[in-house]
Chain A
Amino acid sequence: MADAKQIVRRLIEEPWTGNMHVIDELIGPGYIGFDPSAPEPIRGPAGAKTQIQQYIDGFPDGRITVDDQIAEGDKVASRWTARGTQTGEVAGIAPTGKGVTVSGITISRLDNGMVVEEWTTWDTLGMLVQLGAVPAPTQA
């Protein structure tokens, strides 16, 4: 069986390089994912594809790099950085052409070589600030 860290790394990085098939390959049918930007839990490979695709549409040149990983038992924690230029609509924000860099942490639970559960926390506010969607606070 492939190394758990490698499975999770491929799942985080490869959809952004054009390989959406990696989701069917490595996400279990009963998958459930939690992401602060999704109002409801993300369910199954189809739900994961929809969740990722909305950001790929907003940042077509985007890339995610896994910076660090820790594995224990059936879980892998990954710290990652996403970079991209917003040339598509994202979160209701019209394209700005601005470059954005955000970081996040994903904890993935694996079963039989597939990811079946994920908890992601990422810098959603940072993305909105960088895109100019959060009003600039006045300085004291």
Chain B
Amino acid sequence: MEGPLRRPLDVAGSESETAKDGFPEIAMSSFFASRHMPCADCGASVAAEERDEHTCDPERVLEFRLFQLRDGVAGFDTDLRGYLDSPEGRFEQWLAERDRPSS
């Protein structure tokens, strides 16, 4: 199947507005509750009975955030090249070159 129906559903962070104590509010509902839920801060799968004791591993928090930002990170070089080629970017380069202290 082609078209928008085949586009992956982007749900990353979609529950953040309802997050409570680091876990999405969806976990509080009785019918749709899942015993395990991912921590909203680090993404780790945490069982309901371990939620109070859960502390985020700082390394995992960093990995999780970088994963969420992966498209931006992957596109950084392209965006930078595009900016440097734009009139504004070219002017900034010219200005930086002009103002560089002579050695």
The interface of chain A, by Cβ under 8 A from chain B, is: 83, 85, 87, 89, 92-102, 123, 125-126, 129-134, 136-137, 139
Contact = CB atoms under 8 A, between A and B. Distances in A.
B44 A99 contact: yes
Contacts of A99: 38-39, 43-46
Q: Among the interface residues A97, A102, A137, which one has the most CB atoms of the partner chain B within 10 A?
A: A97
Contact of A126 (B36, B39, B44): B36
Contacts of B68: 97
A97 B34 contact: no
Interface of B: 6, 8-15, 18, 24-26, 28-29, 31-39, 43-47, 63-64, 67-68
A137 B46 CA distance: 20
B32 A95 contact: no
A87 B15 CA distance: 18
Contacts of B44: 99
Contact of A132 (B6, B24, B29, B33): B24
Given A99-B38, A126-B36, A130-B38, A87 B10 contact: no
A41 B67 CA distance: 35
A137 B32 contact: yes
Q: Which 6 A-B pairs have the closest CB atoms?
A: A99-B45, A97-B67, A94-B8, A101-B36, A98-B38, A136-B26
B67 A133 contact: no
Contacts of A96: 11-12, 38, 43
A83 B44 CA distance: 10
A6 B26 CA distance: 38
